[in-house]
A and B are shown apart, each in its own frame.
Chain A
Amino acid sequence: MDNINVLIVEDTPAESDALVKVLTENNYNIAGIARTYQDALTLFYQNTIDIVVIDVFLDGKADGITFAETINIVPNSVKPFVFLTSSKDRQIFERAKLTKPFSFLMKPFNELEILYALEMAVEKFYGQSNAFHSEDQNAVISNDSLFIKKNKSLKKVQIKNIVYIEVEDRYCNIITETEKFVILISLTKIIQLLDPAKFFQTHRNYIVNASKIQEIIVNDNLIVLKGNHKVTLSDKYKDFVKNFRVLK
């Protein structure tokens, strides 16, 4: 389970310091602090970034919005971002709103508010609104990562590292090669969100990452996965074996 990498675009050191303090306290990883539009672009494309926090006004100009607009141009590399602003000026907001998905945070803000804003940004960006705050879910699934709300902060797990998922009531045990943890999400939802070419249901309670399969023992209704994890293969889902070329 990895920390989330945050890029801060903020020209006032006092404010960026406060932000850094709050975020590090909550186990966020600060990937960089940009003071200008140009810095921001450089840092954004050089590092692995999960979320960007952008001050609307950089040195008195609305460069923050310009930055958001710039990264919005390349759809594949764009990441969730949050605007920070002390002004509720409508014109600025109307412009900022065009950089969808758009979430913002009014200054001054407290710890809870900035964390909430980051979560909202992730939710909205991946189109899974209210995922972190509903009673029966605490995770957002993107193409390559699983964002999990753990206590007050967010964590991520690379989907390719997942070996298998075991469903237990409303919970899912996520088993990676190195660790094991529980997230709150329904089976139907997680199947919907995972890539069907990579993950297969083998049992009422199991979802398996196909790339981690080492052996399928059909007779024993057993699948052996990387790390010697064993998962049951029920008759109902045996069909998925057809997806593999069987050597005879």
Chain B
Amino acid sequence: MNNNQKCFFIALSFLLNSIFVFSQGKPVDYLLKSEVKKKVLKYNQEINFNKAQVFFFGKNWDSTLVYSIKQLSSKKAPELKNYCHYFRAVSFLEKKIFNEAKKEFNLISSDFRFNYKVNFLLGEIALEQNEFKIALSHFNAIEKLSEDLYDFKESGVLLNIGLCHLHLREFDDAEKYFFRSVELQEVEKDSLMLISSYMNIANLYYTQYKDNQAIPYFEKAYSLSKKVKSFDLKRAAAKNMAAVEENRKNFQTALVYRKEYEAWKDSLNDQNKVWEIAEVEKKFAIKQKQKEVNVLAAENKAKIAERNGFLISSVLLFVLLGTGVYFYRQKIRNNKIILAQKNELDELNATKDKLFSIVSHDLRSSVNALKVSNSKLLDNLESKNYTELDVLLHKNSSIASGAYNLLDNLLNWALLQTQQSYFYQESLHLTSIVKHVEYNYKPLMLNKNIDFKSSISTSDYVFADLDSLKIIIRNFLDNAIKFSKENGTISIYSRPASEEFCYLVIEDTGLGMSEATRRELLKETILLSKKQNDDSIGTGLGMQLCKSLIRKNEGTLDIESEEGVGTKIIIGLPKFKNHG
């Protein structure tokens, strides 16, 4: 008897589970669905409701809970409130939070169209919580409703009512409801439910010790269970049969059923094991794959590293090559520059050497002339020839001043080259400066009987360095005197000037020069002109110095000359400070 009791409870608990599955699994919600669709269309701006219903029908219970509470808290569209509560209740139910589900169901107002569903589900909750009377009252409330008008399964309701009666030990009522449900299930050809129902009926009889009535149902359930795939049902049916045969002391048969039961249990286990093995294998395979993937990834990494290494090293090499080439070219260019500079320096050095030789030659001859003249002077002094003394002394003086001028030019040239000299441009009164310079040459010109005319406008000012201007005028005046014949004329005057320049002209009626010489003189060259004839042409140093100084003062130089007629030296100097 104990065994029977046990067997019954196993079957019963199993049955409850199966009812749950079935009542939700069948497409019995079509009415609810269409009604909800209508509401969605009506309240299309209630996004939360829309989402809640989508999740509800998609059996996504958590999301349903979230959106339904959002819809409820928005407090809009009270018509939807019942639906939301319903969604929440079902969701809680599915999550086996029965008390919450019950609360939600109770919040649904009594005029809700799907109250029968609420009743049904409340009944199931009560059944689950072993409150069979309450469950029975809920099921009874909907028992009489027509299946055609409402989307629920009458057989399920009947089965549940039967179960309630069974638990309440009201066997007659239980029997009645079980048979009605069997009838419906046979019509519906729902073999799974049918097996459960048969087993319930068998249990019903068995608990009342009506073994003869019970056994056919057990057998029916057993034979039907062979046709279905559910291992649980097969196992339960076999176990029931084993219990039955055991109670009939038919141990051999009981053993067979027991074995079958074990087999189904095993097969269930086997299947589980197979699943587990498959799972393990899968995991293993995944691990293996993962390993392979890892190996490949590592290989890839290594490859990438190698490639990067190649790339970096090649870039480095390229850069190295580039810098090498750059420095090589730089070196070549530097060499070129150095070579050019060397040539230039050589040339300059040669010029300097030549300058040295010319200057020393000049000085030597000057000093020599002075020496000769001095000895003559001494002779004359001894012979008391005083008239000759005057001539000789004048000669000495002119030789000395010539040598002095040469040395002065040399000094100025050196200062100019090394840029050591002070250079300061200011507005200068041209006439005064010219007068200062000519003052020193008056005796010399008088000696040569040169007619000197100076007619510079007193309003002429030039912007120049005083000392440079003096050197320039001195040199040109010196030249003019040097190249003038006796009784010649030298005139200094300023030409009608332009806005910016003042032109100073130094004109003589001396030897003049050829066009070639003129060009040579005006050339922008640092080379000294060659000495053409002994006395009349000097070192050319004075000319170079003048050109450099004029350039430094931002002036211009021009020469007009005709051989045998005379020369005009035209010096253009800025009147005002240039560039602000």
Q: Which residues of A contact B (CB under 8 A)?
A: 88-90, 92-94, 97, 106, 110-113, 116, 129-130, 133-135
Contacts and interface: CB of A to CB of B under 8 A. Distances in A.
Contact of A135 (B415, B424, B440, B458): B458
Contact of B421 (A88, A113, A130, A134): A88
Interface string B48-62: 000000000000000
A130 B461 contact: yes
Contacts of A112: 432, 435-436, 439
Contact of B436 (A89, A90, A116, A134): A116
A89 B420 contact: yes
Interface of B: 415, 420-422, 424, 427, 429, 431-432, 435-436, 439-440, 458-459, 461, 467
Contact of B459 (A92, A97, A135): A135
B545 to A, nearest CB: 14
Contacts of A88: 415, 420-422, 467
A110 B458 contact: no
B422 A90 contact: yes
Contact of A90 (B421, B427, B432, B458): B421
Nearest to B426: A129
A93 B422 contact: yes
A130 B439 CA distance: 21
A99 to B, nearest CB: 14
Contacts of B429: 130, 133
Contacts of A135: 458-459
B81 to A, nearest CB: 101
Contacts of B415: 88
Given A113-B436, A133-B431, A135-B459, 5 more contacts: A88-B420, A90-B421, A90-B422, A106-B467, A129-B427
19 contacts: A88-B415, A88-B420, A88-B421, A88-B467, A89-B421, A90-B422, A92-B422, A93-B422, A93-B424, A97-B424, A110-B439, A112-B432, A112-B435, A113-B436, A130-B427, A130-B461, A133-B458, A134-B459, A135-B459
Nearest to B412: A88
A178 to B, nearest CB: 32
B439 A111 contact: yes
B225 to A, nearest CB: 124
A97 B424 CA distance: 10
B458 A134 contact: yes
A89 B439 contact: no
A97 B426 CA distance: 13
A56 to B, nearest CB: 12
Contacts of B436: 110, 112-113, 116
